[in-house]
Structure 1
Amino acid sequence: MLHHLALPRFILPLLLLLPAIASTAAPSQSDERGIRAGWEWPLAPRPAVVRTFDPPERPWLSGHRGVDLRATPGQEVRAPASGIVSFVGRVVDRDVVTIDHGNGLRSSFEPVESGLPRGAAVTAGQAVGRVAPTPQHCPEGCLHWGVRETGDGAGPRGTDYVDPLRLVADTRPSVLLPWRDP
């Protein structure tokens, strides 16, 4: 019963355009498969997943807060999305590079040797370093990629890990549809 609404004539066309405007204004939104626009695999060619995301039930428990991707020492590591390098350095016994993507997500990679300085702007696909050898984590060679939600200031920042594969691949379960004869 739209005829009962007393809206100016120009409002209805604007309301019809709103979804199209919103989809172009938010480049970091996910598509119907959950893949984020502008995100790429950090290794080329697309690597095999050696170990999947297995977060703990509680933040203080042990778990695997990222994915391990098959890689060889010396292989180039690329930024999965544009951002600012927020950390480059050693954590315990591994070299780490962290990129703040500015859209509520922060990627960390280890072991990665990098000459980039903190504060460097990077674009999606740009080299950020090279895989360093670490027989302790993956004897056959791998890159650990973790992604944290940096929060909006309402709660603890950087404590919620997300599955990086959801940003670059369709990880929804396969569904078999009923067979239909033509």
Structure 2
Amino acid sequence: MAFPKLLASTIIAASILAGAPAAAAPATASWSWPLSPKPSALRLFDPPDKPWLSGHRGVDLGPTSDGAPVTAPSDGVVTFAGVVVDRPVLTLDHGDGLRSSFEPVTSGLKEGDTVHKGQVIGSLEPGHCRNSSCLHWGVRSGDDYVNPLGFVEDMRPSVLLPLH
């Protein structure tokens, strides 16, 4: 059967072209947005060509207001809650090698706390976007940064398939 192989090859190629390892992004969106209502993507995922080069390893979501509640996009466990450089950061481990991080977010959660999809995990602080409040959301699969939008939207391109 050539049809399933063609479809699978197309999906894998589309994932690679989108800048994410094929296995890292789910075939359909299964997480929820960390802000409500559904935010706009103010700055998109733009991974560097090499791990040590500059790039944008997540997405900036907003605009929203300071103090806006940030929710867990999926079940997980807190692996970090603290300050990095000058911003409060919260990191969740979702299993299967997937970790998400949120900044600038203050939270009463601590390392080891379990969270559930949709649960408020903290509040947005000012300081990330210059002209408005926004949330920087990053996702890693193993050591690789992947596009967080692939977990909340079906980002596969439309593909025309033969009728036969």
Which TM-score applies when normalising by structure 1?
0.70
**Secondary structure at 2:150's aligned position in 1?**
helix
| Offset of residue 138 of structure 1 | 3.5
What residue is the counterpart of 1:21 in the other structure?
none
What residue is the counterpart of 1:106 in the other structure?
99
Q: Is 1:41 aligned to 2:25, yes or no?
A: no
Matched residues, number: 137
For residues 148 and 130 of structure 2, the distance between their equivalents in structure 1, rounded to whole angstroms, comes to 18
Q: Which runs of 5+ in 1 are unaligned?
A: 1-27, 151-158, 178-182
Say whether the 8 Å CA contact 2:102–2:137 is kept in structure 1. yes
| Offset of residue 141 of structure 1 | 1.2
For residues 67 and 162 of structure 1, the distance between their equivalents in structure 2, rounded to whole angstroms, comes to 10
For residues 77 and 107 of structure 2, the distance between their equivalents in structure 1, rounded to whole angstroms, comes to 14
**Secondary structure at 1:165's aligned position in 2?**
helix
Say whether the 8 Å CA contact 2:93–2:100 is kept in structure 1. yes
**Secondary structure at 1:101's aligned position in 2?**
strand
- More strand as a share of residues: 2
| Offset of residue 139 of structure 1 | 2.6
| Offset of residue 103 of structure 1 | 1.9
Match of 1:144 among 124, 136, 142: 136
What residue is the counterpart of 1:122 in the other structure?
115
Per-residue CA distance 1:103-133 (angstroms, 9 max, x = gap): 2100000000101111000000001000001
Q: Is 1:66 aligned to 2:50, yes or no?
A: no
For residues 111 and 72 of structure 1, the distance between their equivalents in structure 2, rounded to whole angstroms, comes to 12
CA spacing shift, 1:65–1:91, aligned 2, 3 Å: same
| Offset of residue 175 of structure 1 | 5.9
| Offset of residue 170 of structure 1 | 1.8
| Offset of residue 92 of structure 1 | 0.4
Q: Which runs of 5+ in 2 are unaligned?
A: 1-23
For residues 65 and 35 of structure 1, the distance between their equivalents in structure 2, rounded to whole angstroms, comes to 21
Alignment of 1:1-182 (within 5 A): 30=26, 34-37=27-30, 39-70=31-62, 71-134=64-127, 137-150=129-142, 159-174=143-158
| Offset of residue 137 of structure 1 | 3.5
Bigger Cα Rg: 1
